[in-house]
Structure 1
Amino acid sequence: MTNTSRSLHHIVRKSSLQKNAPLLIMLHGYGSDENDLFSFSSELPAELFIISARAPYPMQPYGNAWYAINFDEEQGRWNDNEQATQSRDLMARFIDEAIAEYPVDKNNVTLLGFSQGSILSYAVALTYPEKVKNIIALSGYINKDILPEDIQKKDYSNLDFYCSHGSVDQVIPVAWARQTAPFLNSLKIKNNYSEFPVGHGVAPQNFYELKDWLSKRIL
């Protein structure tokens, strides 16, 4: 099922529940699209109402991005944090739209992001903690430049994070990901961090672990 009437193009897998279904929103990585993560939706609990969203910035010749990553000889690689902040706020609005349109539980929203989608998921949750409950952040890191200034004053007591990374990731250094748990702990946010002996991807044992983690938190 495809829907384009809202702020982000997305595809949907309906829940086995008729109402108050736990909602899972998927955020793909840089240069990909909504079909990428959606490919393993059939392996996730039937109770989940799954939405896989397409990032707003089209790339050439194909794919999409939540924000531009620029490659400059002098500066090296740098992120367009203005676009990232806009996408963060756009996703917050999209969550509201999804809750209004679909038979889901507004108090049981999970974000699942990979790579750039993971970075965005961190930012959405830490900026709008009242909108989400669980966050699955795969192969990403926390970009502090797109977090709110009043982060120490927010109530994060409802949040729970599952974070994972490949120990030989050649795209996003594992050292960046290893800063995640200490940062979340400093805010007293529940979190689980795992590493797997792979590159920039999700190992089978990683998937089984996140599935088990999620299954215990959605019902």
Structure 2
Amino acid sequence: MHQEPLRTAGQPLATATKALILLHGRGGSPADILSLARHVHVPEFALLAPQATQNTWYPNSFLAPPAQNEPWLSDALAAVGRAVAEAEAAGISKENIYFLGFSQGACLTLEYVARHATRYGGVVAFTGGLIGDHLDAARYAGDFAGTPIFIGTSDPDFHVPVERVRASTKLLTGLGGAVTERIYPHMGHTISQEEIDVANSLIFK
């Protein structure tokens, strides 16, 4: 699963100096998440958007035991890894690879980078947290070396409890991430202009 061709936009990989990997939410599509790129400051970036099979990266809640989301979750993480490998094959180093995801795609974004922590260009998670019924630090390894990470969410959010966002921030910070967490009262399950502005000022500056 998750074998659909990578959707690309922005600058050609062959000439781009930076790459942004965008991960859509449940029920979304690469076209949906790529449309968000018009609002962030990425004119010199190659944009890479994997496609989830049947528009869903994994079938159950991100708070379910990971085994209940297999093999979809492992395949989803592998799809992100292929996008990273494609950027690296074009000569773009990890320090110039950025990530952005919304909702289920934000959860997948955080889970991928935490399992492969290194110095990335930056990470944006619009409404997401690390995956699993509990957070097992043994799943995560590496050192973000100060990678800027932005997590924005609503309190409450029907899909993503604010407690998991805070726990994710703590774990990512422990891996060396420079995490900025913003919790917006009653924002709803969406992406606000304020979140976009924060992402632009912290990550895409």
Identify which of 188, 194, 200 aligns with 1:211.
Answer: 200
Residues 148, 203 of structure 2: 8 Å contact kept: no
The aligned residue for residue 30 of structure 2 is 34
Whole-angstrom distance in 1 between the partners of 2:15 and 2:35: 24
CA–CA distance in 1 between the matches of 2:117 and 2:193?
Answer: 30
The Cα of 1:139 is off from its aligned counterpart by 0.5
Secondary structure of the 1:200 match is: coil
Q: Counterpart in 1 of 2:87?
A: 98
Equivalent residue for 1:51, pick from 48, 67, 71: 48
1:3 is matched with which residue?
none
Contact 1:127–1:148 at 8 Å: present in 2 too?
A: no
* Structure 1 unaligned residues grouped into runs of 5+: 1-5, 59-63
> In the alignment, which residue of structure 1 is the partner of 2:5?
9
Displacement of 1:208: 1.2
- Secondary structure at the aligned position of 1:179 is classed as helix
Distance 2:114 2:184 in 1: 25
Q: Which of the residues 102, 126, 146 maps onto 1:138? A: 126
Q: Note the C-alpha offset of 1:202.
A: 0.7
Deviation readout 1:164-209 (Å, 9 max, x if unpaired): 1012322222222122222223333211101223111111111111
Residues 196 and 206 of structure 1 are in contact (CA less than 8 Å); yes or no, is this contact kept in structure 2? no
| Aligned 8 A contact 1:196 1:203 in 2 | no
- Rounded to whole Å, the distance in 2 between the matches of 1:116 and 1:54 is 13
What is the aligned residue count?
A: 197
Q: Does the CA-based 8 Å contact 1:67-1:79 persist in structure 2? A: no
**Structure 1 residue 21 displacement after superposition:** 1.6
Matched, 1:162 2:158: no
SS in 2 for 1:29: coil
**Hey, what does 2:172 align to over in structure 1?**
184
- Shift, 1:81, TM fit: 4.1
Q: Which has the larger radius of gyration?
A: 1
TM-score, with length taken from structure 2: 0.81
Q: Work out the CA distance in 2 between the residues paired with 1:30 and 1:8.
A: 16
Unaligned runs of 5+ in 2: none
Asked if 2 retains the 8 angstrom alpha-carbon contact of 1:15 and 1:48, the reply is yes
Quick check: which one's strand share is greater? 1
Match for residue 23 of structure 1 among 19, 29, 32: 19
Residues 1:202 and 2:198 are matched in the alignment: no
In 2, distance between residues paired with 1:136 and 1:193? 10
1:86 maps onto 2:75 in alignment? yes
CA distance in 1, matches of 2:113, 2:102: 15
Provide the identity percentage: 20
CA contact (8 A) 1:129 1:159 kept: no
Highest RCO, 1 vs 2 (Cα 8 Å, sep ≥ 6): 2
CA change 1:80–1:17 in 2 (3 A) is closer
Distance 1:142 1:79 in 2: 15
TM (normalized to structure 1)?
A: 0.76
